[in-house]
């Protein structure tokens, strides 16, 4: 099989125009289309490569219909919207651009922590609604508070560096990182059971996997300090949405900032959570910066070009 023979490329999510330009320069025929699942299934057979962000669900039926498909490119990090085992089974390579949007994701997380501490979005809304309400919005300083980071990969570590400058104590856990390495990043390594009672803020920075789904659920939240604040700018499903609402309603959770949702866009059953007065929410904007989008597009184009010309490239998440 000629894996490197990429002629026709289909892009189904918004990607920086430099990507299209680079691939056209490399001799590829590139189509950008917004398609329903059925349209994607009926058109995918024409293409050698499919390029997506998180918006397109690359399910097994899409992959099976891709008779000429050799490569799925993810302009970003998370590949949870791609059925990677099915791709591997069908001989389709999957490539992402890890690290290209790390800083944007970390900065977004820091912004959400600050937004929670001072209820900035809620206060802004009252002023826009014509009110001048100061008493409602008594906040808290971050200095001296404990931030728990679950997942100490690239993003978690950048969050640690930034939030330490606010005087926060940083604790964290990662099953793949030894305690000594965490200490080098100024993070006190703790087992999850030790983390729950000491954390004022908990932010998750793990991929969505069977092992991380519902990582933050009622069972965990009830072990936390009353009023704990939860941030999820990683993936929907890591924090259980139903449990979070329940604990917000009881006051056990004092606030939550959510950039990602189990289903995107979130369905009607999530509206109560989104509308809760202690919830700050954004529509999966962690990587939505000019810089990150230029970087993911540039990296992916370069990796694909390198693969076409040399048969080798970084960024593959599977092995055929
Ligand atoms: O996994 C990622 O790279 C981020 O969640 C960004 O997703 P997006 O490319 O859909 O904005």
ipTM score? 0.99
For 133-146, letters b (16+ CB in 10 Å) and e give eeeeeeebebeebb
CA distances from 239 to 129, 136, 233, 260 (A): 31, 27, 10, 10
Pocket test for ligand 1, best of 15, 72, 73, 76 (most atoms within 8 A of CB): 76
pLDDT tens-digit series, residues 15-74: 999 999 999 999 999 999 999 999 999 999 999 999 999 999 999 999 999 999 999 999
Pocket test for ligand 1, best of 75, 260, 287 (most atoms within 8 A of CB): 287
Q: Are residues 194 and 233 in the same domain?
A: yes
Taking the C-alpha atoms of residue 242 and residue 221, their distance in angstroms, rounded to an integer, is: 12
Averaged pLDDT of the chain: 97
**What separation in Å is there between the alpha carbon of 99 and the centre of ligand 1?**
11
Q: Are residues 241 and 159 in the same domain?
A: yes
CATH number at residue 72: 3.40.50.720
**What separation in Å is there between the alpha carbon of 288 and the centre of ligand 1?**
8
Is residue 110 in some structural domain? Answer: yes
Determine the 3-state secondary structure of 255 from DSSP. strand
Q: Are residues 116 and 259 in the same domain?
A: yes
Distance of CA 238 to the CA centre of its chain: 11
Q: Whose CA is nearest to atom 10 of ligand 1?
A: 54
Taking the C-alpha atoms of residue 112 and residue 117, their distance in angstroms, rounded to an integer, is: 9
Taking the C-alpha atoms of residue 181 and residue 228, their distance in angstroms, rounded to an integer, is: 27
- Which residues does a 6 A CB cutoff place in the pocket of ligand 1? 53-55, 76-78, 101, 284, 286-288
Q: What is the mean pLDDT of residues 262-267?
A: 97
Q: Whose CA is nearest to atom 1 of ligand 1?
A: 78
pLDDT tens-digit series, residues 166-209: 999 999 999 999 999 999 999 999 999 999 999 999 999 999 99
Is residue 147 in some structural domain? Answer: yes
**What separation in Å is there between the alpha carbon of 149 and the centre of ligand 1?**
20
Sign of the C-alpha dihedral computed for residues 262, 267, 268 and 273 taken in this order: positive
Hey, what are 271's tokens? 């509206």
Give 22-70 as a DSSP string.
Answer: HHHHTT-EEEE----HHHHHHHGGG-SEEEE-SSS-B-HHHHHH-TT--
Q: Are residues 168 and 220 in the same domain?
A: yes
pLDDT bucket at 1, cuts 50 / 70 / 90: very low
pLDDT surpassing 90 at residue 250? yes
Tell me if 150 sits within 8 A of 202, measured CB to CB. yes
Is residue 155 in some structural domain? Answer: yes
pLDDT bucket at 261, cuts 50 / 70 / 90: very high
Taking the C-alpha atoms of residue 228 and residue 2, their distance in angstroms, rounded to an integer, is: 53
Q: What is the mean pLDDT of residues 235-240?
A: 98
Determine the 3-state secondary structure of 120 from DSSP. helix
Q: Whose CA is nearest to atom 11 of ligand 1?
A: 287
Q: Are residues 20 and 71 in the same domain?
A: yes
pLDDT bucket at 5, cuts 50 / 70 / 90: confident
Is residue 247 in some structural domain? Answer: yes
Dihedral pair phi/psi, residue 270, rounded to 5°? -100, -10
Hey, what are 112's tokens? 């959400």
Residue given tokens 């826009």 in the structure block: 128
pLDDT surpassing 50 at residue 2? no
In ligand 1, the atom with minimum distance to the C-alpha of 285 is 11
Q: Whose CA is nearest to atom 7 of ligand 1?
A: 54
Q: What is the DSSP letter of 82?
A: B
Q: Whose CA is nearest to atom 6 of ligand 1?
A: 287
Q: Are residues 121 and 260 in the same domain?
A: yes
Q: Are residues 158 and 252 in the same domain?
A: yes
Q: How many domains does the chain divide into? A: 2
For residue 299, give its domain range.
8-96+290-310
Residue given tokens 């320069």 in the structure block: 25
Q: Are residues 252 and 111 in the same domain?
A: yes
Q: Are residues 165 and 43 in the same domain?
A: no
**What separation in Å is there between the alpha carbon of 132 and the centre of ligand 1?**
37
Hey, what are 306's tokens? 């390198």
**What separation in Å is there between the alpha carbon of 203 and the centre of ligand 1?**
17
Q: Are residues 208 and 223 in the same domain?
A: yes
Tell me if 218 sits within 8 A of 245, measured CB to CB. no
Is residue 197 in some structural domain? Answer: yes
Taking the C-alpha atoms of residue 147 and residue 200, their distance in angstroms, rounded to an integer, is: 6
Catalytic residues: 235, 264, 284
Is residue 320 in some structural domain? Answer: no
**Helices 17-25/290-310 angle, 10° precision:** 20
Is residue 40 in some structural domain? Answer: yes
Hey, what are 188's tokens? 């006190």
Q: What is the mean pLDDT of residues 288-316?
A: 96
Q: Are residues 263 and 295 in the same domain?
A: no
pLDDT surpassing 70 at residue 3? no
Q: Whose CA is nearest to atom 2 of ligand 1?
A: 77
Pocket test for ligand 1, best of 234, 284, 289 (most atoms within 8 A of CB): 284
Is residue 319 in some structural domain? Answer: no
**What separation in Å is there between the alpha carbon of 213 and the centre of ligand 1?**
18
From the number of C-beta atoms within 10 Å of its C-beta (0-12, 13-18, 19+), residue 175 rates as exposed
pLDDT bucket at 118, cuts 50 / 70 / 90: very high
From the number of C-beta atoms within 10 Å of its C-beta (0-12, 13-18, 19+), residue 319 rates as exposed
Q: Which residues contact 111 (CB under 8 A, 6 or more apart)?
A: none
Residue percentage of the chain with pLDDT more than 90 = 98
């Amino acid at each position: 099989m000629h894996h490197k023979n990429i002629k026709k490329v289909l892009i189904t999510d918004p990607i920086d125009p430099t990507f299209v330009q680079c691939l056209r320069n490399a001799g590829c025929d590139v189509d950008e289309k917004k398609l329903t699942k059925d349209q994607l299934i009926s058109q995918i057979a024409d293409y050698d490569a499919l390029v997506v962000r998180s918006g397109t669900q690359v399910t097994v039926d899409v992959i099976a219909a891709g008779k000429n498909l050799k490569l799925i490119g993810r302009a970003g990090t998370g590949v949870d919207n791609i059925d990677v085992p099915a791709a591997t089974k069908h001989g389709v390579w999957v490539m992402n651009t890890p690290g290209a949007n790390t800083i944007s994701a970390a900065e977004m997380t820091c912004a959400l922590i600050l937004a929670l501490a001072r209820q900035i979005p809620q206060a802004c809304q009252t002023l826009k609604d014509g009110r001048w309400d100061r008493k409602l919005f008594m906040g808290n300083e971050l200095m001296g508070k404990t931030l728990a980071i679950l997942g100490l990969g690239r993003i978690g570590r950048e969050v640690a560096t930034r939030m330490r400058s606010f005087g926060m104590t940083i604790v964290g856990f990662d099953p793949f990182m030894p305690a000594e390495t965490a200490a080098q990043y100024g993070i006190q390594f703790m087992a999850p059971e030790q983390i729950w009672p000491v954390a004022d803020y908990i932010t998750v920075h793990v991929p969505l996997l069977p092992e991380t789904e519902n990582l933050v659920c009622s069972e965990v939240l009830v072990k936390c300090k009353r009023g704990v604040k939860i941030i999820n700018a990683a993936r929907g499903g890591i924090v259980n949405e139903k449990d979070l609402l329940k604990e917000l309603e009881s006051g056990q959770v004092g606030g939550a900032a959510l950039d990602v949702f189990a289903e995107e866009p979130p369905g009607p059953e999530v509206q109560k959570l989104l509308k809760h007065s202690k919830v700050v929410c954004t529509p999966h904007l962690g990587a939505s910066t000019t810089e990150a989008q230029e970087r993911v597009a540039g990296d992916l184009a370069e990796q694909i070009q390198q693969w076409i010309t040399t048969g080798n490239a970084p960024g593959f998440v599977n092995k055929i």
